[in-house]
Amino acid sequence: MEVTFVSDSERIGMDKKEVQGMRALFTAESERRISDMQTLIHDPIALKKAFNEYLEFDKTRQQFEDRLAQKYSVNVLENLEKEARLLRYLTMVLIALTGVLAVLTALLASGVRI
């Protein structure tokens, strides 16, 4: 079974900073909409319209945050894949070094000078 790895340029996940930045934008927009509704307290028709728009925005925000969570999860898996590949190569290097040390130890034990 051959495993193909995704290069850094082909990664689709979002890192923690990107997710936090997007959430901050949505939070700021949400707070702006709430403060806008507070100014419309004396106009019930405009307030109802603004409230309905806020509910639509909140629904969209929740869907987008769910997608952000999925993209962050993908990023975690991509990083795990990268680390697993690195560990595999390091393990192969350690096995090779152990073999070299075993040969050198055998040569020293048999009295051969290098």
pLDDT at 12: 73
pLDDT at 36: 87
What gap in Å lies between CA 34 and CA 48, rounded to an integer? Answer: 12
Which letter does DSSP use for residue 67 in this model? H
Q: List the chain domain ranges.
A: 14-110
Average predicted confidence (pLDDT) for the chain: 87
Task: List the alpha helices (DSSP H) in 1-114.
Answer: 16-39, 44-110
What gap in Å lies between CA 114 and CA 24, rounded to an integer? Answer: 65
Which letter does DSSP use for residue 6 in this model? -
pTM of the model: 0.60
pLDDT at 113: 72
pLDDT at 3: 47
User: Would you state the structure tokens that stand for residue 7, as one six-digit string?
Assistant: 């290069």
Residue bearing tokens 């680390």: 83
pLDDT at 114: 65
Q: Which residues contact 49 (CB under 8 A, 6 or more apart)?
A: none
* 3-54 tens-digit pLDDT: 455 555 566 778 888 888 988 999 999 999 988 888 888 888 988 999 999 9
pLDDT(83) > 90: yes
